[in-house]
């Protein structure tokens, strides 16, 4: 036991025992959210910088609350209206931020590998909050926490991930994390949105929704980004929704204790019907609550390790 990493860059690098350490720490952190005074002094005097080159309200806010509940000073640095617009390179921006001695930098960037590049050049801890189509490890960790909380265990479960797997860092991080925890993963979606060599990640592939979700303990619906329409990956949003959207009727033959997850924000009526999103099967809001706990755990583990 014991965390020794300077950075959290992806689920691919993590050992199973490290994943369990983060999840156990997050369970303890969740208790703080139930208190009247939601603050502990743990990271007093530590600085967390949110460096977001892609718009994100939910993830950034989640890291911000996580840092604040641990008493860290949290500074938000978004790309628009900042030096990035004026032509400063990623590394120059990062070096400038480092000159202000932060303890952890949380990065989101549209380029895969950007957080890894920063991690190599910065002395402080770096958390990947989503890089291109590569990884989004805190999302996978909060998903694992939510599944473990609801099902009591992870090993032996069947999880089906539905939608745009090709462009999804959420799917990639979850596949890596879930395989390590002994979960059987099936991916399902139109052939244009499933990577051709997907099986090499140790997942089953299905091109029929009914078949993919029939015996699933958990169905994870991915967000359909509207940009995919322009890329010609799907004929139309209506057609996608008709074939791949999850409705109550489609859920009928599924397990009675199935969990419906979604990383958010939900396109109601596209990947999920509103009735499903608001049904008792849906744990979408539990995912958001657990997101704060997981990020508290990650900030605690990284800010406390001796990096400098």
Partner 1 sequence: MSAREKAQVLDETGLDRALTRIAHEIVEQAGGGEDVALVGIKTRGVTLAERIAAKIAAIEGTKPSVGALDITLYRDDLGLKAEQPIVRTTEIDFPIKGRTVVLVDDVLFTGRTIRAAMDALMDLGRPHIIRLAVLVDRGHRELPIRPDYIGKNLPTSRRETVAVLLREHDGVDRVVIQEE
Nearest residue (CB) to partner 1, 29 versus 187: 29
Q: Which residue has the tokens 């990096």?
A: 307
Selected from 12, 27, 201, 237, the binder of partner 1 by CB under 8 A is: 27
Instruction: Name the one range near partner 1 by CB under 8 A: 10-18, 21-29, 83-91, 202-210.
Output: 21-29
- Cis, peptide link before residue 265, omega less than 30° from 0: yes
Q: Does 297 bind partner 1 (CB under 8 A)?
A: yes
Separation of alpha carbons 253 and 214, rounded Å = 7
Q: Does 3 bind partner 1 (CB under 8 A)?
A: yes
Q: Does 305 bind partner 1 (CB under 8 A)?
A: yes
- Beta carbons of 271 and 221 less than 8 angstroms apart: yes
CA-CA distances (angstroms) from residue 176 to 8, 144, 171, 288?
Answer: 14, 11, 9, 21
Nearest residue (CB) to partner 1, 104 versus 284: 104
Q: Does 37 bind partner 1 (CB under 8 A)?
A: yes
- Beta carbons of 181 and 156 less than 8 angstroms apart: no
Distance of closest approach, residue 153 Cβ to partner 1, in angstroms: 18
- One DSSP character per residue, 32-46 reads HHTSSS---STTTT-
Selected from 28, 83, 89, 199, the binder of partner 1 by CB under 8 A is: 28
Residue 274, Cβ neighbours under 10 Å: how many? Answer: 11
DSSP-derived letter for residue 167 is: T
Separation of alpha carbons 167 and 175, rounded Å = 13
Nearest residue (CB) to partner 1, 38 versus 238: 38
Nearest residue (CB) to partner 1, 24 versus 275: 24
Distance of closest approach, residue 27 Cβ to partner 1, in angstroms: 6
Separation of alpha carbons 224 and 237, rounded Å = 9
Selected from 10, 25, 142, 298, the binder of partner 1 by CB under 8 A is: 25
Separation of alpha carbons 186 and 216, rounded Å = 9
Nearest residue (CB) to partner 1, 145 versus 224: 145
Q: Does 16 bind partner 1 (CB under 8 A)?
A: no
Nearest residue (CB) to partner 1, 70 versus 270: 70
Q: Does 31 bind partner 1 (CB under 8 A)?
A: yes
Separation of alpha carbons 121 and 266, rounded Å = 36
Distance of closest approach, residue 65 Cβ to partner 1, in angstroms: 16
* Subset of residues 57 to 86 that bind partner 1, contact rule: CB under 8 A: 70
Nearest residue (CB) to partner 1, 77 versus 300: 300
Residues across the chain: 308
| Site residues for partner 1 per CB under 8 A | 1-4, 21, 24-25, 27-29, 31-32, 35-37, 39-43, 70, 297, 300-301, 303-306
């Amino acid at each position: 036991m014991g965390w020794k990493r300077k950075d959290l860059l992806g689920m691919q690098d993590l050992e199973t025992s490290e994943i369990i350490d983060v999840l156990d720490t997050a369970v303890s952190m969740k208790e703080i959210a139930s208190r009247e005074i939601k603050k502990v002094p743990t990271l007093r005097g530590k600085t967390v910088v949110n460096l977001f080159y892609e718009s994100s309200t939910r993830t950034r806010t989640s890291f911000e609350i996580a840092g604040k509940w641990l008493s860290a000073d949290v500074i938000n640095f978004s790309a628009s209206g900042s030096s990035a617009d004026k032509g400063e390179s990623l590394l120059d921006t990062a070096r400038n931020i480092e000159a202000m001695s932060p303890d952890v930098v949380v990065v989101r960037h549209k380029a895969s590998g950007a957080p890894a590049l920063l991690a190599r050049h910065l002395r402080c801890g770096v958390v990947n909050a989503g890089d291109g189509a590569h990884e989004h490890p805190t999302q996978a960790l909060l998903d694992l926490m939510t599944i473990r909380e609801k099902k009591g265990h992870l090993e032996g479960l069947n999880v089906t991930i539905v939608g745009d797997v090709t462009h999804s860092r959420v799917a990639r991080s979850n596949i890596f994390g879930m395989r390590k925890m002994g979960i059987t993963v099936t991916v399902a979606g139109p052939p244009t949105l499933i990577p051709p060599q997907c099986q090499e990640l140790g997942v089953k592939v299905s091109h029929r929704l009914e078949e993919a979700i029939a015996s699933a303990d958990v169905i994870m619906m991915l967000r359909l980004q509207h940009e995919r329409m322009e890329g010609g990956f799907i004929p139309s949003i209506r057609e996608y929704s008709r074939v791949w959207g999850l409705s109550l009727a489609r859920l009928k033959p599924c397990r009675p204790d199935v969990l419906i997850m979604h990383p958010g924000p939900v396109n109601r009526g596209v990947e999920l019907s509103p009735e499903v999103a608001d049904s008792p099967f849906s744990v979408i809001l539990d995912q958001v609550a657990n997101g704060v706990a997981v990020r508290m755990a990650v900030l605690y583990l990284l800010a406390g390790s001796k990096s400098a």
